[in-house]
Amino acid sequence: MSTSDAWSQRLRDLQMNMGAALQPMAQGLQTFRDEVLACASPLSRAEGLLVLYGQPASMQQYDQAMADLRLARQTFCANKRQHEENQCLVLIAACLRLRGHMQACFAVTERALKSQALASTQRMQLALYGLQALASLLRYDEADHWAQHYILSVLGAAPARPEHLDFWLALGFFRLQQQARALNNQTSITLDIPPERPPNEAAALAYLAEARVCLARASSCAESEINRERTQLLEMAVLGCEGQLRAATAVYENLKQCWREKPPHYVGGLEINFGNVLKVCGSDAQAYQALSRAAELGERHGLGFVHGATYSLARLAQALGRHEAAMTHYARFMVLNHDLQRTTYQWFTDQDDLATFGQAPEAAVPQHPARLVESKPPYLQQAEKLVLQNLAQPLKMDELAKRVKVSRRTLEAAMKKYENMSPLAWVRHQRMAHAAHLLQHTDAPLKAVAQDLGYAHVSSFIRDFKKVFGELPSQRKKHFMD
């Protein structure tokens, strides 16, 4: 028995002993990792890590997974094990996609696909992750080319096989993204639609028909219970796009029951897709609730879909007349985008990773979404964006007005008109919204939160917090814990 086979058998034994529940499963994976890292041979460790991260559940510890896979790739490279090194690249791309680092994910897939030593299954899997990354980066024309060139050219009219399921599901969801864009339906997966573009109903119908074909092909590939359930997720989305809300809701309720014990990315994906169904069908209030549940899960577990969900919440809140909530969501979206971009750039500056990631892509800065409030003048939008990007800095109105090329009086008047508050009050609200997020989702002490937002004295921070929320930070944190 080879070392890789021995590791696979050991992992199966641990999983059998631990059972299918989430917590024991996580314990089993951690026990297996400890055993792998205790192995004296670097090559044996790398083989064990490759077996470990072949299990999707092991990707939940994102930073740990990335560190382990980069180490394994370097070991296989040093030992001229090309096939295993390429498999590490496939898993690195999967990990980056799961966490939302789409620029880095696409860089890995594009670079790896130039290799002549890829196995056909590795090439297909990398192409799939590249397609999904391109769609998330709103580069739909390139994504469509990848779908045709790398995936459909291989699948074609090939007989249904279980290993083809992921490809048909991904293509089905991509066709629905194209359908939504053709109709100008703003959802968490279509953030770049300009308001003046007319809908293209003929193209939308064609994309929906193609999504139905993908659903049929996926259904013929789904043999296990979990894969049939994953296919039902695409069915729910298709039904929603066809306007069959009642049928889509029935599928949602069934999957919600089946996936109660599944990892958080299953449940979050369900809520994201159902939120989009509700939005497309005109049920904005219910869509807001579904996407709120998804965003909460994404924040809690560090999942990549939280960015799109948060932006959609901002737009839905605006449509529902919840302007303060809209600004809070949008401020959080900007923070998430900034953090994501900063982390992504690390992959292109670490010398050890240049062989994996190559040079940074030219369009490394993500596109800013369509304006949240269309009636705001451009200079006010620019001023608010500058403030949100520098919340810890003191507000200097003269300098801010100069940067957006208007007078201070003009800027203050616009803020009062469109935000119904003074610039100082608006900045205070944005800072406290960020503070409330930190109190809910981190264990940072109050002093650290205050300093992070530019407060030299905790007492000043507490005063502003109470002014905005009507309660002390400690009281609000207690509410979150309750």
**Chain centroid to CA 447:** 30
The conformational region for residue 365 under phi > 0 = left, psi -120 to 50 = alpha, else beta, is beta
The burial of 2, by beta-carbon neighbours within 10 Å (0-12 exposed, 13-18 middle, 19 or more buried), is given as: exposed
The per-residue b/e assignment along 136-147, b for 16 or more CB within 10 angstroms, e otherwise, is bbbbbeebbebb
In sequence order, what DSSP letters do the residues of 200-253 get, joined into one string?
-HHHHHHHHHHHHHHHHHHHHH--SHHHHHHHHHHHHHHHHHTT-HHHHHHHHH
Q: In whole angstroms, give the CA distance from residue 206 to residue 124.
A: 25
Q: In whole angstroms, give the CA distance from residue 125 to residue 56.
A: 14
Non-local (6+) Cβ contacts of 277 within 8 A are 236, 237, 239, 240, 241, 245, 248, 252
pLDDT value at position 1?
A: 58
Tokens of 160: 């249904």
443 φ/ψ angles, rounded to the nearest 5 degrees? -105, 20
Parts of the chain belonging to CATH 1.25.40? 1-137
Parts of the chain belonging to CATH 1.10.10.60? 378-481
Q: In whole angstroms, give the CA distance from residue 137 to residue 5.
A: 38
**Angle (CA) 393 335 364, round 5°:** 110
Top-level class of domain 1-137: mainly alpha
Q: Return the bridge partners of 453, or none.
A: none
Tokens of 313: 């919440």
Q: What is the pTM of this model?
A: 0.68
**Angle (CA) 221 272 179, round 5°:** 70
Tens-binned pLDDT, residue by residue, of the chain (482 aa) = 577 777 777 777 765 665 444 455 567 778 888 888 888 898 989 988 888 888 776 777 777 888 888 889 889 888 988 888 889 889 999 888 888 888 888 888 888 888 778 888 888 899 999 998 888 877 778 888 888 888 888 887 678 889 899 999 999 999 998 888 887 665 544 554 454 556 778 888 899 999 999 999 999 999 899 999 999 999 999 999 999 999 999 999 999 999 988 888 889 999 999 999 998 888 999 999 999 999 999 888 878 788 888 888 888 888 888 888 888 888 888 778 777 766 666 666 555 565 666 655 543 333 344 444 445 788 888 888 888 888 888 888 999 999 999 999 998 888 887 776 788 888 888 888 788 777 766 778 888 888 888 888 889 988 888 887 777 888 766 654 55
The burial of 472, by beta-carbon neighbours within 10 Å (0-12 exposed, 13-18 middle, 19 or more buried), is given as: middle
Top-level class of domain 378-481: mainly alpha
Q: In whole angstroms, give the CA distance from residue 311 to residue 331.
A: 9
